[in-house]
Amino acid sequence: MSQRPHVPDAPGLQWRRRVKGWEARWRARPDVIAKGWRPKSVPIWLGEVPTPDEEREIREHCHSLQQEMLVFGRGGIPELVGARPLPAKIEMPSNVYFMSDGEAIKIGFSGAPLLRIKDVRKDRGRDLTLLAQIDGGREKEAALHRRFAHLRISGEWFRSAPELIEFINEIAAQRC
C-alpha cells in the first residue's frame, strides 16, 4: 500500500486506509458536534495519490465544511442590519433514491440522484446502479430507514433482501 497522502492547509482532514488506497475524510470538531452539528464526517476523496487538482479540491472542500461548521458553532450567521428575512423554510425538490453496488442497497435522498451516484461511486470504489427514485426528502428517507432497519448493514446501506427488492420493483413499476 502506498504511503499516506498529505494535503497541507486542509482543516479537519483525516486519512483512512481502504482496500483500494486511501480515503480523505473531513471530520468536525467534537465540541461543535456536541452542540448539534451534523454531519460528523464527510468522505471527500478515494484513491492512491491525489493529483494536484484533486489536492486543491480536497483543500477547498475541507475549508468550506470547516467554515460552515465554525459559523454553526458560533451560533449561526449574525443578523445583518437592514437585511430582508429569509422565508422560514425553503423547499428544495428532492428524491429518495435506491442505488445498488451489486451487494447492498443504499437508501438516500438528493436533489440530483444521478449526480449523487458519482459521489457515492467514488466513496465505494465500485460501480453503482440507480434502481428507483420517489419524491421525498429527509422525512421520507428516515421513514424508509425505519421500515427496513432490520436489514441495515451500516449507515444508509441495507441488505439486498427480497422484501426490499420487491418494494423497489413496485416503485419502479409505478414510475413507468
Residue closest to 153 by CA, chosen among 110, 105, 108, 97: 105
DSSP 87-107: PS------EEEEEE-SSEEEE
Task: Count the domains in the chain.
Answer: 2
Q: Which helix (H) or strand (E) holds 61?
A: helix 52-73
18 and 60 in a single domain? The answer is yes
Quote the domain boundaries for residue 22: 13-73
Say what the pLDDT of residue 90 is.
47
110 and 56 in a single domain? The answer is no
Say what the pLDDT of residue 175 is.
65
63 and 113 in a single domain? The answer is no
pTM over 0.75: no
47 and 100 in a single domain? The answer is no
Tens-binned pLDDT, residue by residue, of the chain (176 aa): 579 999 999 999 999 998 888 999 999 999 988 888 888 888 888 888 999 989 998 999 898 889 888 888 888 755 545 555 555 554 556 789 998 888 899 999 887 777 777 777 767 667 888 898 888 888 899 999 999 999 999 889 999 999 999 999 998 887 65
| Integer Cα distance of 71 and 125 in angstroms | 33
